Amino acid sequence: MTRWEELLESGDDLLWEKLRRTEKNIVLYGMGNGADKILDVCAEKGIQVRGVFASDGFRTGKQFRGMTVESRREIFDRFGKENTVVLLAFASARPEVLELIRGVAAETELYVPDVPVAGNTLFDADFARTHREDLLRARDLLCDEESRRIFDLTVAAKLTGRAECLFQAVSDPAEAMRELVRPEEIRTALDLGAYTGDTVRELLNAGAKPEAVYAVEPDARTLRKLADYAEQEMRTTVIPLHAAAWNRRETLPFGAAGNRGSAVGEAVKKALPVEGIPMDEVLGDARVDYVKFDVEGAEREAIEGLSLHLARDLPTLLVSVYHRSEDLFALPLLLHERFDGYGHFFLRRFSGLPAWDLNLYVRR
């Protein structure tokens, strides 16, 4: 039995239950969208949050959700380190920021709540119990011990909120590129969620020599930077496309944040229209060797819109499986059930908090 199964059986060390029981003062570390989501979950579960603080160097004194933003020192002076529970409410992969978080964790009780990037379904104990068989079926697809290690630590982190699980659940990006992506095999690539071209650069720097890369990006502001990069890149032909990868032609509301948080969805603020297009239409008769799906919660629709090429070409896939709570099991099971030719599934996660940068690699 895995550690996370034991947690579900015993009911011990489950984050939201711990927060309901604690008599300590619960505070947020950080503001923004993640903090909003955590506060909403706490309100639904009857958990009182008594303060919010920012990292040293950030402006304090402003208001966030009816609370004055304080410094860490002010929070600890007010409540005492021994009487405080800190909930990390922002994301970072920067080493210096992760060290700051480690420093807070060394001083007081700290948790990393897992709230969905897309959708409203929370990955809590009830969710995991409901989908236990789905989780186990997805885990059974994984081909190596590193994949199963990452899977188990990630699920445990989602259930317990323990940062140490995520500090342990880190893979080697160079190994993933070399052994799983295998850039030397790529002749035509499809980059869904191309951002400014950073993942194209990574492929080329790792030795890929594709004849063409189709780079699809729904954010108009980001697309301008992508187009500039495409003009300057001399090692291959980068074809930028302003669209959202989707399962049918449809005009979609798009939350244009100008960053990696930009997303297609029905309930986004400041939504702008963007054309949703099946990638089978974009590629036409062209074959594809490699596809990256990082589309902020629209991975299922993007897969469905590329189903003809996936079935015919069986390209190597990199699929983000952290945007929606169900992605960790639903997307591997979808690919396994829909496309017979895929027999090798791997899971890797790269450094950062919370449980983001969790990638499924699929090969024929």
CATH number of residue 338's parent domain: 3.40.50.150
Comparing CA positions, the residue from 30, 29, 12 lying closest to residue 21 is 12
Give a yes or no: residue 98 inside a domain.
yes
Q: Of 113, 132, 163, which marks where a domain is finished?
A: 113
What's the confidence (pLDDT) of residue 4?
A: 98
Task: List pLDDT tens digits, range 44-60.
Answer: 999 999 999 998 888 77
In which element (H, E) is residue 8 found? Answer: helix 3-10
Structural domain harbouring 12: 1-113
Specify whether 297 is located in the same domain as 184: yes
What's the confidence (pLDDT) of residue 270?
A: 73
Specify whether 107 is located in the same domain as 177: no
Q: How many domains does the chain have?
A: 2
What's the confidence (pLDDT) of residue 255?
A: 81
Specify whether 209 is located in the same domain as 85: no
Give a yes or no: residue 143 inside a domain.
no
What's the confidence (pLDDT) of residue 259?
A: 44
Specify whether 216 is located in the same domain as 334: yes
For the entire predicted model, the pTM comes to 0.96
Let me know: does 289 contact 313? Beta carbons within 8 Å: yes
User: What is the rounded distance in angstroms from the CA atom of residue 332 to the CA atom of residue 305?
Assistant: 16
Q: What does the block give as tokens for 37?
A: 């989501």
Sign of CA dihedral 189, 193, 194, 200: negative
What's the confidence (pLDDT) of residue 271?
A: 83
What's the confidence (pLDDT) of residue 268?
A: 59
Give a yes or no: residue 126 inside a domain.
no
Burial of 132 (0-12, 13-18, 19+ CB in 10 A): middle
Give a yes or no: residue 134 inside a domain.
no
What's the confidence (pLDDT) of residue 261?
A: 52
Residues lower than pLDDT 70 in the chain: 256-263, 265-269
In sequence order, the 6+-apart residues with CB closer than 8 A to the CB of 220 are 242, 256, 272
Task: List pLDDT tens digits, range 72-124.
Answer: 999 999 999 999 999 999 999 999 999 999 999 999 999 999 999 999 999 99
Task: List pLDDT tens digits, range 211-243.
Answer: 999 999 999 999 999 999 999 999 999 999 999
Specify whether 196 is located in the same domain as 94: no
